[in-house]
A and B are shown apart, each in its own frame.
Chain A
Amino acid sequence: MGQTLAEQLLSRAAGHAVAAGEITLARVDRCLTQDGTGPLAVRRLEEAGMVQAANPAGTVLYLDHAAPSPRRELSNDHMLLREFAARVGCRLSEVGEGVCHQLMAEDHAAPGEVIIGADSHTCTAGALGAFATGMGSTDVAVGIALGMNWFRVPESFRVELSGEFSRGVYAKDVILALIGQIGADGATYKALEFGGPAVSRLAMDERLTMANMAVEAGAKVGLFPSDQETRRYLTEQGRGDAWQPLAADTDATYERVLRVDLGELEPVVACPHTVDNISLVQDVAGTPIQQVFIGSCTNGRISDLEVAAEILRGRRVHSGTRLIVVPASRRVYLEALDRGFLRIFVEAGGMVLAPGCGPCVGVHEGILGDGEASFNTSNRNFKGRLGNPEAFIYLGSPATAAATALRGRITDPREVLE
């Protein structure tokens, strides 16, 4: 019987064939932590007397969630992680280099690998055909020390994509609409496997956006096949030799098949305070917005900044609204600089902050006031997520965010696209 992509990847890592529902030990190729979860992982390893990295080159400690640090306690956490990296010889990604998941995609993740990270959006690298999943600090600590961990092989949902985007509709709208359809726990413990005739037309930036948000439906991993677009992307990053083709077997068994015709979608927004609280943009248009955040591991890539810059070029952000733009990595920042996007944002009245998580997690940069509302291109709108439980967060595409920044209220991007 054929295997899903999730079964294929875990079978390779386990060293024998495994099927959905089985619990197995498996090799872990890469481990990541970030500055919110890394210190706890380090303490776990110290408690266990396992201050070691089985695979130092495959272990990366990222400083991105509070970077640059807003407080001495967090600065001390950064020091702890730098010292640990030096001690075990693993990699450290410094303040200002970017968001862990973007950098994992640019620099490390490869088709066929198993990646665990102490950050729930580790599933982003599933866009490259890697079995990438988020775990807690203790689980990742074990992965770092021993180069392996246990996995329950997930059942898979096949998401069959067809059709072509209409104007003003983007990958973000697809994944938000899907989460709205199945619910915030609709794919708990499952793998979301994207396939169908439209997949080969989705660029890696779009795949990363969709895989990133698999966890917002509860999924363990969001997987794309490794195809010519994967090869193109890896080659562009100078890692063409990491490519190999991968796809689910045609006779694989899926628990559920979901069909999405991209051409039927319209711009959507996730309303407070859950990601599955989806409305059409036109149904909430006019809602006042005090802050717009364009960035994050979901939508802080060059194509996202390009869409926003096209909308904001030569225009001014609304006087009652603050625009914060955070490129997801240094590479994205430099390209946006070279292509003039950053100048467009600043001339429009926006701010461009250092590559990293930015306001997304509510530790620094852009904490909201009581009763304020923010429109974000990031992945979570939970109560308190932007540092204030009395505030409101809406999620949507970079185009909808840019249109909203112009008008100071939620705006359908089709009204402002040239």
Chain B
Amino acid sequence: MLLEGRVWRFGDNVDTDQIIPARYLNTTDPAELAAHCMEDADPEFPGKVRPGDILVAGRNFGCGSSREQAPLSLKAAGVACVVAASFARIFYRNAINIGLPIVECPEAAGAVAQGDRIAVDLGAGVLRAGEASFRVAPFPEFMQRIIAAGGLVPYTRQKLAKEVQDP
């Protein structure tokens, strides 16, 4: 999968309260989640983000609350991919479970700027920014199977449920 888009830059420790504040957690409506996505970090973001844009952040992206509405709001806002130097654990799992592509790449996180155009080739494990290109770590095989199945729920229905009945 090749994702090409315009970069939104954020720093370290972007927590899930900034991605989607708790005061909007009473909805799972994608449009409403998108309307408030990242607004506490950058009030202009919800109005200016365009489908296909790529978030590039520093360390510990998605730390804090376990709210799955955080990756859901990014996906609903049209964000194609999140690149970060590192991700917090719960956000990482949530993003895979709901099918939001995320890429860990500390080198790229330090090298690209707001408004740059970058391309992420998930299959080849390469991120290109202008002349530069960076290797990105592939997902562990187990997680690739979840992604291939379309998320944890379909994966579970296919595999886990079968193992429960027929271990």
Contacts and interface: CB of A to CB of B under 8 A. Distances in A.
Contacts of A284: none
B23 A387 contact: yes
Interface residues of B, number: 42
B50 interface: no
Interface in B75-117: 86, 88-90, 93-94, 97-98
Interface string A127-138: 000000011111
Given A73-B26, A73-B27, A384 B18 contact: yes
Given A142-B152, A146-B161, A188 B88 contact: yes
Given A36-B25, A71-B26, A138 B67 contact: no
Interface stretch (A38-46, A198-206, A256-264, A307-315): A38-46
Q: Which of A74, A138, A274, A362 has the most CB of B within 10 A?
A: A138
Contacts of A43: 28
A384 B21 contact: yes
A141 B41 CA distance: 30
A135 B66 contact: yes
Interface in B35-85: 40-41, 59-60, 63-69
Interface string A19-44: 00001010000000000110110011
Nearest to B95: A136
A37 B67 contact: yes
A293 to B, nearest CB: 15
B23 A185 contact: no
A356 to B, nearest CB: 14
A119 B157 CA distance: 24
A139 interface: yes
B140 interface: yes
A122 B93 CA distance: 16
Given A36-B22, A146-B160, A384-B17, 20 more contacts: A37-B25, A37-B68, A77-B26, A122-B66, A136-B90, A136-B93, A138-B68, A138-B94, A138-B98, A139-B97, A142-B160, A145-B156, A147-B164, A188-B60, A218-B60, A220-B89, A363-B22, A382-B17, A387-B22, A389-B40
20 contacts: A48-B153, A71-B26, A135-B93, A135-B94, A138-B68, A138-B98, A138-B152, A139-B94, A142-B152, A142-B153, A147-B164, A148-B164, A150-B142, A185-B59, A189-B89, A218-B88, A218-B89, A363-B25, A383-B18, A387-B23
**CB-based closest 8 A-B pairs:** A136-B94, A136-B68, A185-B60, A384-B40, A73-B26, A389-B40, A138-B97, A120-B66
